[in-house]
Structure 1
């Protein structure tokens, strides 16, 4: 295999009629899913989509999303998985930046996305999941096309996906991953987590996220079954684990906290679980202990990022538990802790520094941004993660803090600069800074500290509504405080990490 586009075809040849994917409205075998991917590829190729083009996927978890992902890769095009929570403004930026030739989206969003074709000349095809829509091709019609699927030989070093991260300077950056990087991440994750064809995985992780992608395709790789929730609901997740006798549940810390707090937990049968995974943000050891005691299955911590196509570190379920650690490097991957003042030097064991990653899973760079790429990856191939961590004598990594100002809320990455850029445009706002405040369920919440312009007046509700029109829901500030001034350095730079201590909650 040269890339993730080969995973489904290989699995279909090996496992055939075995169930590959279960969703609320359809169950598909490997053979059926493979045929759908071929139909998508043939139809896209007939519409001029091929190597060198980019196709965006902008929808909630659903079986059509998975079929489209594999179909796009079979044309030789690059997949651009898009967070469904993005606003129209944010989506337009992403589609323009990556030069999308086609977009797959839900029937509810299709008409609005089709309107963007007027301003985006490269975007010629909009496909709707779930039925026909104005200006869009119905996915059912697309997959009725019976032309030959293109026969593409994948170059493992060429771009496979462009995944956009939240922008530290106000706009997102597109991390370009090679076919080799995505395939290896799926394969090495499957190896570390001991996946087999007998596994049944329940997950609500978004398919556009690298974690969700690795869960889905890493399971397909070994012939396991994925039970994919459209969106997370604790009682429903507990029910699906029981109904399908799931061997794995995979999610972010908030999901485990919500399941542990849900009344349905009392009657849930979790005895089929053999292990679970958790990533996206740090998780309290008390939550780990509670879940492991209730489920009887180890909860495996992991760490990853868009720039490495998924996981970078995790644990083996057969190894001794190291609570609070994000694990060790994936096979074939190097991690080290660099001195904060001199990244060329590694710190001593147990001394905090910046976590760096090197290996075949590291991105090719940021799309169209060589300067940002050079800042992120040094001449020796080490990727800066922005996370402060330590490493113990056995190579286990422990996250201490984030070097940047990123807020991680419910597993989503939120950058203060994006929120600040939006709120600063409000006429009543003179100065704004955003920082994290702790939250027992979501880990952190973004809090905006606002200094009003002289004589101006506004309310928290008004600013929240202002942000709601311009930012995805997960990026919006959950708290807004009006203050007289903001903490600054001697040079006038706002100290975001000092916000919570200055304005004691």
Structure 2
């Protein structure tokens, strides 16, 4: 089994000039090497060489120029994980414009918000994907939006017939379909200081913001991630999270920067994903524990040879990452690390090196991927800087940090300190310079009997009970104003855990003040499916806890 990088942070050297230059360099190294693997409409495998993707990118950049797309414009890309999405990202960047990705699950209100904020001049729309009528959603969103109607480029997708008449997708500014063949000249170098990609935030404090990043930051981060992950030309990265989200985007860009093959999953089906890990000899994967649980269950039902799987960057969305790390490490020898990131500061901003022992290696945080990323911890109230080991707000500075919020320029001022550090809104502490542990969102921390408690401590204990499948802990306020910990759990199939017994279970392993005031067994967690994975809606649970 190949080794993973020791993950020593260092300067990003010899980085490509811009995104098109990244692809151009790969072609010069080996034009016939597979850069991406698509899945066709019948489940067939469709390999794409570096030269093929570069030809498609050049041709598309020329078409975008003809369509009037230029520097500073926004192009919305509404399609699944197809190699077309990569070509659109490279070609739009070549025009000095930027992409806002739209998740194929987005509904009319979501798209209306994006149109209002990003005001794209063009929407690249997947045609007839998975039975979804994306055009009707777009039509309704355009009607509801205050933004000018965008042009529409209808994209048929891999293995599908060209669109004969795209005029039916016109929402007011014309419609066309990219050419299926032909060549075009190399695009002129773009300015790396131009915005190239934007991502929706979680929207935990209102409507989602659109965090935009410059080309120089995207390139620097991709090169650093590839080096820290140990990605090489002989590797294969499974791109299972949507490219429209920062998690999926950064994983794919790391794969490309390292010269690996990106195996693209347009939909998530655990059996198909496991078949692809085995069949394509996948070496690197980045997901949340929500998808990880489904992979574990599917592997138990039908085992595959997953011995090629070297590295797993695992996000802890549902409190199950530690047991999944133990499973993958024991079963396949996979090196599993906790990670950290956000739409504003990039995903895979940090993770732990191979030699970091458990259990800390499984926690969110780690070492920043290059020394251009600075991190400090400040008191959330006084803004006083805190020493190593003292918990406070994580603040960042560097090329990875958000450069603009599309349609919301006023947000930039309040997102940064007076001396230019990005306020993450996350609690954590420094281990040493450039190395940190993430605790939780500042709004999720509980003050129990005077002690600041990370709900994950209680959740991990509950999830270790054999009758508990998932646990989430939130705070509720009692009549005297004190905070009470309320736990919600979903039972394992075929079990009926007793709430009082679960409290006793917590008391056996936790300090008394951490034992939840009450435990409620529910059928399923309220969740939200975003571009980075499925997360439990803590706000809904807090409402339920208040009612109780």
CA contact 1:340–1:354 (8 Å) conserved in 2: yes
Rounded Cα–Cα distance in structure 1 between residues aligned with 2:118 and 2:537: 33
Post-superposition Cα deviations, 1:411-470, rounded to whole Å, max 9, x if no partner, equal: xxxxx9xxxxxxxxxxxxxxxxxx9956699xxxxxxxxxxxxxxxxxxxxxx9xx99xx
Q: Note the C-alpha offset of 1:96.
A: 2.6
Task: Report the counterpart of residue 128 of structure 1 in structure 2.
Answer: 155
Rounded Cα–Cα distance in structure 1 between residues aligned with 2:286 and 2:397: 25
Task: Report the counterpart of residue 369 of structure 2 in structure 1.
Answer: 330
TM-score by length of 1: 0.77
Report SS of the residue matched to 1:385: strand
Q: Are residues 1:19 and 2:34 paired?
A: yes
Rounded Cα–Cα distance in structure 2 between residues aligned with 1:218 and 1:206: 15
Rounded Cα–Cα distance in structure 1 between residues aligned with 2:106 and 2:324: 30
CA contact 1:389–1:401 (8 Å) conserved in 2: yes
Shift in alpha-carbon separation, 1:440–1:338, aligned structure 2, 3 A: farther
Q: Are residues 1:113 and 2:138 paired?
A: yes
| Matched ranges for 1:33-182 at <5 A | 33-107=53-127, 108-114=133-139, 120-130=147-157, 132=163, 134-135=168-169, 141-144=177-180, 146=182, 148-149=184-185, 151-182=187-218
Rounded Cα–Cα distance in structure 2 between residues aligned with 1:232 and 1:306: 22
CA contact 1:177–1:309 (8 Å) conserved in 2: no
CA contact 2:96–2:191 (8 Å) conserved in 1: no
| Matched ranges for 1:1-400 at <5 A | 1-25=16-40, 26-107=46-127, 108-114=133-139, 120-130=147-157, 132=163, 134-135=168-169, 141-144=177-180, 146=182, 148-149=184-185, 151-264=187-300, 266-279=302-315, 281=317, 283-317=320-354, 322-325=360-363, 326-331=365-370, 332-343=372-383, 345-393=384-432, 396-400=435-439
User: Which blocks of at least 5 consecutive residues in structure 1 are unaligned?
Assistant: 409-415, 417-434, 442-463, 481-494
Post-superposition Cα deviations, 1:375-432, rounded to whole Å, max 9, x if no partner, equal: 1112322111111112335754222221136999xxxxxxx9xxxxxxxxxxxxxxxx
CA contact 1:338–1:355 (8 Å) conserved in 2: yes
CA contact 2:278–2:305 (8 Å) conserved in 1: yes
Rounded Cα–Cα distance in structure 1 between residues aligned with 2:489 and 2:344: 26
Post-superposition Cα deviations, 1:22-68, rounded to whole Å, max 9, x if no partner, equal: 12122100100111111111111111112121100112212222222
| Matched ranges for 1:408-447 at <5 A | none
Rounded Cα–Cα distance in structure 2 between residues aligned with 1:90 and 1:222: 34
RMSD (CA atoms): 3.5
Q: Note the C-alpha offset of 1:271.
A: 1.1
Task: Report the counterpart of residue 403 of structure 1 in structure 2.
Answer: 442
Shift in alpha-carbon separation, 1:74–1:394, aligned structure 2, 3 A: closer
Shift in alpha-carbon separation, 1:38–1:299, aligned structure 2, 3 A: same
Rounded Cα–Cα distance in structure 2 between residues aligned with 1:171 and 1:23: 33
CA contact 2:344–2:402 (8 Å) conserved in 1: yes
Shift in alpha-carbon separation, 1:73–1:149, aligned structure 2, 3 A: farther
CA contact 2:277–2:306 (8 Å) conserved in 1: yes
CA contact 2:235–2:282 (8 Å) conserved in 1: yes
CA contact 1:192–1:315 (8 Å) conserved in 2: no
Q: Note the C-alpha offset of 1:186.
A: 0.8
Rounded Cα–Cα distance in structure 1 between residues aligned with 2:547 and 2:141: 43
Rounded Cα–Cα distance in structure 1 between residues aligned with 2:225 and 2:192: 18
Q: Note the C-alpha offset of 1:214.
A: 1.5
Rounded Cα–Cα distance in structure 2 between residues aligned with 1:206 and 1:109: 16
